Amino acid sequence: MTKNVQKPSRLGVKRGAFIGEFTVLLQFYRRKHRPSVHTCQICGKSFAMNYLLKKHEQRHTGEKQFFCELCGSGFTDSGYLATHIKAVHKQLKPFECDFCQMKFSQRTNMMIHRRKHTGEKPYSCDFCEKRFARGDDCKKHMKTHM
């Protein structure tokens, strides 16, 4: 009777020990670095996967698939609906500014608010020296140069 013993590789580890981890990393790399082939006909933004394009296009069409049972507000994404319910109807505000103790329902809003205290302005205009605390304010400003 022969035993089914795996021989060690030249590196001293069992063959196949890292195959699962390697496969996961390879799949992630391929998804992240595959060429963008799906392009939005409205704004020209490209996506590697068709479902991401479809989700993006809902921003342009205003199509809403998820509706709040409490107030009827519509959302393009189930995550946005969940955030709405927590913030508006449950009034959960788990994020607190460590400067003034103001509370927020979303971490992003708290971080933007916090910049009022720190003076941080991470967004800069591509055309002049002006800096902004909020990315959308920077984009609006850059349009004045065009």
Phi, psi of 25 (to 5 degrees): -65, -40
User: By three-state DSSP, how is residue 101 classified?
Assistant: coil
Average of per-residue pLDDT across 52-69:
91
Work out the pLDDT band at 35, boundaries 50, 70, 90.
low
15 pLDDT above the threshold of 70: no
**Cα–Cα distance for residue pair 60/56, rounded to 1 Å:** 8
The one-letter code for the residue type at 10 is R
The pLDDT value recorded for residue 21 is 65
17-28 pLDDT, tens per residue? 455 666 766 666
Work out the pLDDT band at 66, boundaries 50, 70, 90.
very high
81-131 pLDDT, tens per residue? 999 999 999 999 999 999 999 999 999 999 999 999 999 999 999 999 899
Work out the pLDDT band at 8, boundaries 50, 70, 90.
very low
DSSP at 14? B
The pLDDT value recorded for residue 37 is 83
Residues 100, 104, 107, 112, Cα dihedral to 10°: -60
Mean pLDDT over the full length of the chain? 84
- Determine whether domain 94-146 maps to CATH 3.30.160.60: yes
Work out the pLDDT band at 59, boundaries 50, 70, 90.
confident
Pick the closest to residue 92 from 82, 100, 101 (CA basis).
82
Phi, psi of 17 (to 5 degrees): -60, -35
Which ranges in the chain belong to alpha helices (H)? 19-33, 50-61, 78-84, 107-118, 135-143
Phi, psi of 95 (to 5 degrees): -105, 125
Strand locations in 43-121 (E): 46-47, 66-67, 74-75, 95-96, 103-104
